[in-house]
A = this chain, B = another copy of it.
Amino acid sequence: MPDRYPTMTAADEELVPAMTSWQRHRATLDTALETIRTRSYWSPHPEHPKAYGDGSTGAAAFAALRERGRFEAPGQPGTDAWVGAEVSPYGFPLGITYPHPDPDVLLPAMLAGVPAWRDAGPERRALTCLEILARIADRTPEFAQAVMHTTGQAYVMALQAGGPHAQDRGLEAVAHAYAEQTRLPGHTEWAKEQGRRGTLRMTSDHTPVPVGVSLLIGCNTFPTWNGFPGFFASLATGNPVLVKPHPRAVLPLALTVRIARETLAEAGFDPNLVALAAEAEGEGSARTLALRPEVALIDYTGSTEFGDWLEQHAVQARVFTEKAGVNTVVIDSTDDYRGMLGNLAFSLSLYSGQMCTTPQNLLIPAGGITTENDGHRTFDEVVADLAGAVNRLLGDDTRAAGLLGAIVNPAVTERLERATGLGEVALASRTVDHPEYPDATIRTPLIVKRKEPVENEHFGPIAFAIATASTRDALDVLRRTLRTRGAMTVSGYTTAPEVERALVGVCLDERAQLSLNLTGGVFVNQTAAFADLHGSGGNPAANAALVDAAFVTPRFRTVQVRRPG
């Protein structure tokens, strides 16, 4: 009988040196496996900027990429054009072009290496993925530059969210993929007593097998953080991954693809298991690629409109979407008024609110709220105090620029201008000058007072303070918003157990993730790998959560080979 994994071929023997060295990642994998279970804090990737030196290596690498101009993916077949028109939100064109593939050539080539990758088994695949992540981590300052100058994130955020935090999410996905692929033992024995007819005996081998090409459709604002989970979940389960970055944020994922291809080749696997499909701006190649019969998995982060289109049309694939929602904060009462204001001010300001998790609708009783240290505060006082907290946070331009980053594209600025007409402006958005990049567009949050909730998403530095008849009314608004628009995050402030219980009830009913009484250094718009689920996958904002078992189990099937034993 054959082994579960075929006897080593020449190619396998060649990969042994690399694989032997990568066995050092086994300890990392084991800790990750333990941590997805305990949900405690852990990361192998330092997050303090000091850990990455002064950033000069990254700046030099970024300059060299721009100097070179053409971003080669050596050996990737079927390139029929070189495209790319990225412009840094800090005010200059990147001047880099990337391979644009002919899918009729590239997709079949991506499938050629699948059997060897499948036969390598879950552990080798996981260790190879961890080596890819380790090489990405080694180049975090370069990724920081790439993320900063495609998304507009400020440098420190680009470094952290685009670097260690994204790498954590990727590692988390690898751990989940490994855990799910190894739930069934590789080999089992079965014996059924049949009385005087003796005993039936069977043995079975269980092999996790991939399902087809996995298409990653990247987003503009968090190309690595939102991209790595699907990328690594699919690769670790044996699927080739085709990366179609957002045309304005190609570089971070192009670097990822190149590192992955190099690592795979070094281990003796086919580098075409990972490939890049850059598109020209406005080409809309995601639509074409998503309907290809070779594509069995799609990971998408972006607009609700296109996410819905994918879910409805790419029926040959399993589609994982993170779309848009309307994130709500319910403010009922607090025992730490200043903490609440500071926490909310930070959440509204971080990356100019250009996060799928930034609060938008702040529901505040028209009659005001109770606070422990500051007594009763009227609706207008709460809004004015929040505006004051934002102003204090962003009073210094240099500090403000470091928190806000740059506006990612002109549509955000246009939306911001239009939003001033939606109610009474309680806090005007102001322009901030960047000390280094005079052409960057940097804007502080706008807060608009309204009597009615705003039903659709206003992506960017736009918040609405909405006067509700009561907290009960706010909960009704929340439920309606969750049901019709969904939300990536819900936040609540209350000291009343019955309000807390009702708020939890609405979030359980409508399947939304809830953060309660955040007044310190944890913010509703941030989720930590291993501990926090990003989205619930159960309301209109997203059909998947980062990262749970449901995010990886559809990416492979199990083939059982049974024999009399």
Contact = CB atoms under 8 A, between A and B. Distances in A.
Interface of A: 1-2, 6, 37-41, 115, 118-119, 180, 183-185, 188-192, 194, 197, 200, 202, 204, 207, 209, 211, 311-312, 315, 497, 500-501, 504-505, 507-509, 511-522, 528, 531-533, 536-538, 545, 548-550, 553-554, 557-564
A37 B183 contact: yes
A38 B531 CA distance: 29
A378 B544 CA distance: 56
Residue among A311, A519, A533, A562 facing the most chain B CB atoms (10 A cut-off):
A562
A443 to B, nearest CB: 28
B188 A38 contact: yes
Contacts of A516: 561-563
Given A2-B497, A209-B509, A516-B561, 14 more contacts: A1-B497, A38-B188, A192-B528, A194-B521, A204-B531, A311-B315, A504-B561, A513-B559, A515-B563, A518-B564, A522-B562, A536-B558, A538-B557, A553-B553
28 contacts: A2-B497, A2-B500, A37-B185, A38-B185, A39-B185, A40-B189, A180-B549, A184-B548, A188-B531, A190-B531, A200-B521, A204-B531, A204-B532, A209-B511, A211-B511, A511-B557, A511-B559, A512-B559, A514-B560, A516-B561, A518-B564, A520-B564, A536-B557, A536-B558, A537-B557, A545-B558, A549-B549, A550-B554
How many copies, total?
2
A115 B202 contact: no
A197 B533 CA distance: 25
B557 A200 contact: no
A563 B517 contact: yes
Contacts of A548: 184, 553, 558
Contacts of A522: 200, 202, 562, 564
Contact of A190 (B40, B119, B180, B500): B40
Contact of A564 (B211, B519, B554, B561): B519
A514 B183 contact: no
Contact of A533 (B180, B190, B560): B560
A167 B178 CA distance: 31
Given A209-B508, A550-B553, A514 B561 contact: yes
A549 B553 contact: yes
Query: Closest 7 CB pairs between A and B?
Result: A538-B557, A550-B553, A39-B188, A41-B192, A516-B563, A514-B561, A2-B501
Given A315-B315, A504-B561, A508-B209, A191 B514 contact: no
A311 B188 CA distance: 33
Residue among A197, A517, A532, A538 facing the most chain B CB atoms (10 A cut-off):
A538
A158 to B, nearest CB: 21
A3 to B, nearest CB: 10
A39 B204 contact: yes
A559 B531 contact: no
Given A188-B38, A312-B315, A508 B559 contact: yes
Contact of A115 (B500, B509, B513): B509
Nearest to A47: B192
Contacts of A192: 41, 528
A207 B315 contact: no
Contacts of A37: 183, 185
A298 to B, nearest CB: 13
A184 to B, nearest CB: 7
Given A509-B115, A522-B200, A532 B560 contact: yes
B559 A211 contact: no
B115 A508 contact: yes
Contacts of A561: 504, 507, 513-516
Contacts of A515: 561-563
Given A118-B508, A202-B531, A531-B204, A536 B514 contact: no
B559 A536 contact: yes
